[in-house]
Amino acid sequence: MTFTRLKTLSLLVCALLALSFPGHVSGAGNNNNKKGSQPVAPPEPEAVIEEVNAKQLEKLLADKDYVAVFWYARSCVTCDKVLAELEKIDDDTDSFGVDFVKINDKRLAKQYGIKNFPALTYFREKEPIIYDGDLMDEEGVLDFLTSLEAMDLPDRIEEVNAKILQKIIEDTDFVAVLFYDKDQKKSQKILAELENIDDECDQNDIAFVKIDDDKEAKEWGIDEIPSIVLFERGIPHIYEGDLMKEDELLGWLVHQKRYSEIPEVTDEMKDKLVENTEHLAVIFYDKDDKQDMRILNELENIDDELEKEGIVIVRIDNAAEAKEYGLDHLPALIYFENKIPALYEGDLMNEDEVLEWLLVQKKTATIEEVTDEILVTLINEHEYVVVFFTGPCEPGETCEHTLNALESIDDELDEAGIIFVTTEDTGIAKKYNVKTYPRLVFFRNRDPLHFTGDLDDEDEVLAWITDDETLEIPGKIEEVNVKMLDKILAENDHVVVFFYAEGDKKAQKILNELENIDDECEEKDIDFVKTSDDDIDKEYDLPGLPALAFYRHKFRTIYTGDLMKEEEILEWVIDLHESTADVIESVDRKTLQVLINDVEHLAVFFYDDECESCSDILEELENIDDDTDKHGIQFVKSNDVKLAHEIGIFAFPALVYYETGVPIMYDGNLKNENRVLQWLVNQKNDECFYVGLGHDGHSAKRGNNFVPNDYKPFQCCPTKLEKSTKVPKMTAQRIGHSEGDQGKRPSGGNFQFANQASSKSSTKPAAIKKQAKPSKDTDDDDEDDEDKPLVKVSYANKRSGGSNKPQAGKKPVGKGQDNDDQSQEVEKVSKQKSAKKSGKLNVKSGYLSVGVRQQFN
């Protein structure tokens, strides 16, 4: 009996333990789990835009200056779709210092004037403004949230961060920036005075912002806080007056806007301008030297002409900075084109000569004159630099004639990403064993190679510089820039590229290993290069850095193994090199965009990695890859979902045929590869072409999902005339402007075919109706419809920043004018309809098409 009780108790304990640890129970339970039970669902990914409640929003508005709030409702049909688009810009708004949140609270929404969902409100220092644009256009929303118009608050100088400041400087012609410290008493006093002229600046189209960021101030070379800098189309002007005298500051700002002067910059400002300005002239001078000031006054006369030609000119009083460019005598002028400097050696007092020289530098191919100091910087910072050492060279000598002849190949070298400069200095020449002049030396990743051919034969020089054997450095993987890489990928069948970030220690270790297989790749006729240009990962749509990719005829395969194991990498490269491309090639964003522009007949299979049927369909389509090649149609695949969305594709998989860059969506069964092939061939052989993909990437054919007013593709086909040997003559017809003449107006507009001159248009003008915007979901289930808004709310038109108020000096439009406008609009529609009926000459086919634009149903 006791044994039975103990046994029963033990069984109960075991059962409890089993229930407590279900994952460790074996036997039938596990078998059932394998066969029929549903697998545990993975946790839902955390929403990108943070969800908040009313209290959290209240605290956020109290703590943050800029908050974007997305209002949605459970019953809202389009909210999820809009939210998916807006989540693409959440990281961008964060980087601009704008907090982006979402909230589902109808009662609170009504207090802020929101009755329809979805909606977006932008709070600037607690002041709300409602976005009235297209919420599906996420880029438009981002532009609005980071625009100066959206941040503008009356009688206040707007606070910005570094990234928003950079955007404002780029987008705004005139913006005054107060660099200050909000905790500094002097800054607080000056800010209080400057608030008085904010409205006057607005009236003079001068934006006014403030920034409390010591790092940003130092990047502009501003050591004293507070300071004012006026940016004129991105060019900084430093104010040197008394900031407490706001009227004097206002006068200076207006004067700088109205009258062009050569601005004074710091060395940090100069560096920023060199980095970001395509054409820049910099005058190095000494403001305490009277001769320098006279020259500067002369050069002020050409400032306006340079601005018209797109050349920015600035001045800098910094002897130490001048010495870094090898300038021992001031004043001096250096012209920068795409960061490459050229030294002016003429007379600076002759402003006409200076203007002519600058225009020649901008408009024609010229070999830049540099100093030894500039040359050292170029050799160290650029992969490929050709230097023509002339030695002391006087006008009319052989060196000058040779230099003039070499000017003819400067453009070709520039397109190849090779810098070409010349110098009379001999210090660097001696270092690289140049004993006789003139001499041409090609620096490839700082490794010099002397030209031993005929310098007077520029074609021979160009062929030598661009030859593959010249560009290669034995035993080293060549460093190339973006221009050179594009050229290499275009001209070579098999290329291995190592993408990395400069200064990355891990990448340097990988490079040391990869150097061991460079020769083996060369033996297989595989080019091996490396590149570390800025933003190279974005330029080539890479998942990250460092990265290794193999290109076969521009098509890329990314290596996913261990980059430190060079033997495995070599085996992978050789396998790809020797294998035949019997599959549909995968392309990245950059390659696909190039193919769309360059390839006349291109088929693109868009798929999503999460799509369950995509792999099976792709396997079927692989069977027709060779057939499409035979018909001259290039077939590629892409899993770039963002790119697909940009061209209107939201459902996967999808097939798009591009003919000379125009997309046509396939609407049939993708699993039937034979039909797909026949469709592609028909599209290629058809003289008709189609414009537009249709709504959301779907076909416009009628069916269950047909929407009457949706955007649909159009089919355009040439139509043969009975007699196509002559173009019908056109005769000018007078058009009456009185009411009596309107009904007699010919159908062809101002001109009419001679054989139609006597005919009258039978088309009556249709009534004009304004097309209503798609309505948002309206809340009709809340009892508090009569609640008044909690605060005063502004409304913003998309990108305009304007208002509905009548502008000063303009009379409001009366009823009579409305009628006139409507009659003119009706008349315009009538002209457009009748113009469609008149013939148009198809230049490409030689046929005269009548009504060829036909909706594709």
DSSP lists the bridge partners of residue 689 as 716
CA angle, 513 then 518 then 521, to 5°: 130
Residue for token pair 């403001």? 287
Averaged pLDDT in 10-residue chunks for the chain of 857 residues: 48 48 40 38 55 91 90 88 87 85 92 91 88 88 84 78 87 92 92 89 90 91 91 90 92 88 91 91 94 93 91 93 91 93 93 94 88 93 93 89 92 89 93 93 93 93 90 83 86 92 89 90 90 87 89 86 92 86 76 84 89 88 88 89 80 90 88 92 75 45 41 55 45 41 41 39 39 45 50 53 40 44 46 41 35 36
8-15 long-range contacts (CB < 8 A, ≥24 apart) are none
Which DSSP letter does residue 445 get?
Answer: T
What distances in angstroms separate CA 645 from CA 543, 639, 648, 652, 772, one per listed residue? 19, 11, 5, 11, 25
Type of residue numbered 609: D
User: Structure tokens of 214?
Assistant: 């010591």
How far apart CA 641 and CA 480 sit, in angstroms, is 30
365-471 and 475-579 share one fold: yes
Residue for token pair 């430093």? 238
Contact 102, 60 (CB under 8 A): no
Domain ranges within the chain, ordered by starting residue: 50-146, 152-259, 275-349, 365-471, 475-579, 585-685
Residue for token pair 């460093």? 479
How far apart CA 49 and CA 63 sit, in angstroms, is 18
Residues 6+ apart with CB under 8 A from 264: 237, 238, 314, 315, 316, 317
Residue 678: Cβ within 10 Å count = 13
Q: Where are the alpha helices (DSSP H) in 77-157?
A: 79-86, 90-95, 106-111, 138-145, 148-151
Contact 200, 231 (CB under 8 A): no
152-259 belongs to which homologous superfamily?
A: Glutaredoxin (3.40.30.10)
Provide the pLDDT for residue 713. 53
How far apart CA 743 and CA 94 sit, in angstroms, is 60
How far apart CA 332 and CA 342 sit, in angstroms, is 11
Helical packing angle, 566-578 and 505-514, nearest 10°: 60
DSSP lists the bridge partners of residue 635 as 603
Half-sphere exposure of 377 (CA within 13 A, CB side): 11
DSSP strands (E only) in 84-233:
99-103, 116-117, 119-124, 127-131, 158-159, 174-179, 207-211, 227-232
User: What 3-state class would DSSP assign to 142?
Assistant: helix
Contact 513, 544 (CB under 8 A): no
Contact 791, 780 (CB under 8 A): no
What distances in angstroms separate CA 409 from CA 398, 437, 743, one per listed residue? 18, 20, 64
Type of residue numbered 47: A
Half-sphere exposure of 225 (CA within 13 A, CB side): 19
The closest alpha carbon to 296, from 256, 259, 270, 263, belongs to: 263
User: Max CA-CA distance within the chain?
Assistant: 126
Residues recorded for the chain: 857
How far apart CA 701 and CA 705 sit, in angstroms, is 9
Residue for token pair 């130092």? 218
User: Structure tokens of 487?
Assistant: 């050229």
DSSP lists the bridge partners of residue 385 as 419, 443
Helical packing angle, 290-299 and 351-363, nearest 10°: 60
How would you write 221-256 as a 3-class SS string? CCCCCCEEEEEECCEEEECCCCCCCHHHHHHHHHHH
pTM comes to 0.58
In terms of CATH architecture, what is 365-471?
3-Layer(aba) Sandwich (3.40)
Type of residue numbered 727: V
Contact 838, 703 (CB under 8 A): no
Cα torsion 294, 299, 300, 302 to 10°: value is 160
Contact 622, 656 (CB under 8 A): no
The closest alpha carbon to 265, from 238, 245, 240, 288, belongs to: 238
Which DSSP letter does residue 515 get?
Answer: G
Task: Please report, for the chain, how many H helices and E strands are present, in that order.
Answer: 36, 39
How far apart CA 441 and CA 465 sit, in angstroms, is 10
User: Structure tokens of 709?
Assistant: 């007013």
How far apart CA 632 and CA 604 sit, in angstroms, is 14
| Backbone phi and psi for residue 142, each to the nearest 5 degrees, phi listed first | -65, -40
| Backbone phi and psi for residue 661, each to the nearest 5 degrees, phi listed first | 85, -5
CA angle, 642 then 643 then 648, to 5°: 95
Provide the pLDDT for residue 365. 76
Which DSSP letter does residue 852 get?
Answer: -
How far apart CA 850 and CA 857 sit, in angstroms, is 19
User: What 3-state class would DSSP assign to 386?
Assistant: strand
Type of residue numbered 208: F
119-124 vs 66-71, strand pairing mode:
antiparallel
How far apart CA 574 and CA 523 sit, in angstroms, is 11
User: What 3-state class would DSSP assign to 498?
Assistant: strand
Provide the pLDDT for residue 689. 56
Contact 668, 677 (CB under 8 A): no
585-685 belongs to which homologous superfamily?
A: Glutaredoxin (3.40.30.10)
475-579 belongs to which homologous superfamily?
A: Glutaredoxin (3.40.30.10)
What DSSP string runs through 641-690? HHHHHHTT--SSSEEEEEETTEEEE--S-TT-HHHHHHHHHHHHH-S-EE
How far apart CA 299 and CA 423 sit, in angstroms, is 26
207-211 vs 227-232, strand pairing mode:
unpaired
Contact 679, 673 (CB under 8 A): no
Provide the pLDDT for residue 687. 65
730-732 vs 751-753, strand pairing mode:
antiparallel
The closest alpha carbon to 176, from 191, 146, 300, belongs to: 191
Contact 837, 682 (CB under 8 A): no
Q: Which CATH class is domain 50-146?
A: alpha beta
How far apart CA 592 and CA 612 sit, in angstroms, is 24
Query: Which CATH fold topology does 275-349 show?
Result: Glutaredoxin (3.40.30)
Residues 6+ apart with CB under 8 A from 265: 221, 236, 238, 273, 314, 315, 316
Contact 697, 654 (CB under 8 A): yes
Contact 763, 827 (CB under 8 A): no
Residue for token pair 């090898």? 326
Adjacency order of strands within the sheet including 174-179: 158-159, 207-211, 174-179, 227-232, 235-238
